[in-house]
Amino acid sequence: MTHRPHAITPEVLRADAMLTPDGAIADAELEFDETGTILYAGPARSTSRVTRELCGHVLMPGLVNGHTHSAMTLQRGVSDDEGFMPWLAAVQAIEQHLTHDDVAAGLELALLEMIETGTTAFADMYVWDEALIERVREAGMRAMIAPASFTRETVGFPGVTGATGEEVTEATERLAARYADDPQIRIAFGPHAPYTCEPEFLRDIAERSLRTGIPVHTHVSESLAETTDVEARFGATPGAHLDALGIVNDRLLAAHCVHLTAGEITRFGEAGAAVSHNPVSNLKLGNGVAPFLELREAGARLTLGTDSVASNNSLDLFEEIKTATILHRGVRHDAAALRAADVLHVATRGGAEAIGFPASGALTAGANADVIALDVTGTHATPFSGAAALVSHLGFAARGTDVRHVYVGGRHLYADGEHLTLDASAVRARARSAAERVRREAGSL
Ligand SMILES: [Zn+2]
């Protein structure tokens, strides 16, 4: 399927500092062309060509959210103080009442929040179809989309689709063919988890992934309850169980991996699997701390995610960046165990590669112009001492609300705090009324 490309106005941006693969540079310039490709990223050249002076701003690559369920923004604040399994039951009780319009409303609220906090690409698993994917394309973001599938009857989206797991798998292959050449969209299989999908179903997906190259996005070892359940039913821990079924390879995006065994960590690393680390969600649900450093040492490809708003409760990746850095320093009793620069890499280039957009995530000539500008004149950024302070600021003090401009492939989505592709107040109003109705019907208001 060919889509008409969005019109892009070439620009030359100038800012106080910029984060590049070679480090931070002062008085920086970034130029991209009408195809949304970066032509130049480096020290400022002549000022006469500059189309946008961003005094008091810094530039960095757009952030990549490696694991979320966008439409669950409607469930912000649901079951805040319960453990994983009661929380999941509360979430699924609400999902029984969702309509397609509700999912669209929740998705658009998520797109709004991701764009205005500097996220330009995300990996999602939820109920998806072409109409919903088109909303992502129109909003201008990039996404790796995994239509969620289950074989247990207790879960699903009966108000949106009556499709069985097998039917979702078939539909996923059709979507992958339809969007094969789309620069914004990647399609993945989305078997929900080893405790909601029977082994034969997972084996079939592994075989289809091998045959077609379509990646697999699934949850792995998120809670102790899951590992106990999977071990009791199948005689192996979740990572080993999935490995035996052919799921663990370099096409896998595994969310969480909190309770992987030492052997599973080694295996995920050797296999070149991508792992999405979701520290805020894991901490909020009391699930534990994922072996992020061990996975890195084993060679796993790493990405950072928020998980859904129902377990976070925001989509602001700057919170994940700071939390991940300080969490693993604390676990290792070593402030040198993880540098902010390394986590910023995971949240940009590493994440982009892990979810299928290797031409994004870095401000360098030839890459996609997925770039965000943050204001550094606010109280919590003061004093900002320029390029030398850039990594420190982005890693420990910046907030999503500092983001003032967002470009994806050169397309301007957010300009000086205003959305250019979404009607923000209408999106918020639709989400408020959808959430109110669904929660009332589910009896959880
Ligand atoms: Zn999840």
Residue 243's nearest CA partner among 261, 225, 223 is 261
Kindly give the distance from the C-alpha atom of residue 306 to the centroid of ligand 1, in angstroms, as a whole number: 9
Please report, for residues 37, 60, 430, the alpha-carbon distance to residue 368 in angstroms, rounded to integers and kept in the order given: 5, 13, 32
Residue with tokens 């925001």: 314
Distance 348 CA to ligand 1 centre (A): 20
Distance 83 CA to ligand 1 centre (A): 15
> What residue ranges in 127-225 does DSSP mark as E strands?
142-149, 185-187, 190-191, 216-220
Phi, psi dihedrals of residue 13, rounded to the nearest 5°: -95, 145
Which region holds residue 115: left if phi is over 0, alpha if psi is between -120 and 50, else beta?
alpha
CA of 101 to the centre of ligand 1 (A): 21
Task: Give tens-digit pLDDT for 219-266.
Answer: 999 999 999 999 999 999 999 999 999 999 999 999 999 999 999 999
Measured over the CA atoms of residue 346, residue 81, residue 106 and residue 256, the dihedral's sign is positive
The CATH class of the 64-354 domain is: alpha beta
pLDDT at 345: 98
Superfamily of domain 11-62+361-409: Urease, subunit C, domain 1 (2.30.40.10)
In the structure encoding, which two tokens stand for residue 15, read together? Answer: 């800012």
Amino acid type, 312? N
Q: Rounded to whole angstroms, how far apart are CA atoms 45 and 188?
A: 42
Both tokens of 177, joined, read 């063919």
Q: Which residues are 41's β-sheet partners?
A: 30
Q: Residues 324-361, buried b or exposed e (16+ Cβ, 10 A)?
A: bbbbbbeeeeeeeebebbbbbbbbbbbbbbbbbbeebb
Token pair 């998806």: residue: 128
pTM, two decimals, is 0.97
Dist. CA 444 → ligand 1 center (Å)? 21
Please report the pLDDT score of residue 1 as a whole number.
Answer: 46
State the first-to-last Cα distance of the chain, in angstroms, to the nearest integer.
43
DSSP 46: -
Give which of 294, 381, 298 is closest to 338, Cα–Cα: 294
- DSSP SS3 for 354: helix
Measure 411 CA to ligand 1 centroid, in angstroms. 29
Whole-number Å distance between alpha carbons of 284 and 306: 11
**Contact assessment for residue 58 and residue 344, using Cβ atoms and an 8 Å cutoff:** no
Domain ranges of the chain: 11-62+361-409, 64-354
Pairing verdict, β 403-408 and 38-43: unpaired
146 CA from centroid of ligand 1 (Å): 11
Residue 374 confidence (pLDDT):
98
Q: What is the pLDDT of residue 158?
A: 87
Per-residue pLDDT of the chain (445 residues; tens, 9 = 90+): 445 667 899 999 999 999 999 999 999 999 999 999 999 999 999 778 999 999 999 999 999 999 999 999 999 998 899 888 888 888 888 999 999 999 999 999 999 999 999 999 999 999 999 999 999 999 999 999 999 999 977 677 888 998 999 999 999 999 999 999 999 999 999 999 999 999 999 999 999 999 999 999 999 999 999 999 999 999 999 999 999 999 999 999 999 999 999 999 999 999 999 999 999 999 999 999 999 999 999 999 999 999 999 999 999 999 999 999 999 999 999 999 999 999 999 999 999 999 999 999 999 999 999 999 999 999 999 999 999 999 999 999 999 999 999 999 999 999 999 999 999 999 999 999 999 999 999 886 5
H or E element that contains 84:
helix 84-95
Contact 28, 44 (CB under 8 A): yes
Distance from residue 226's CA to the centre of ligand 1 (Å): 13
SS3 61: strand
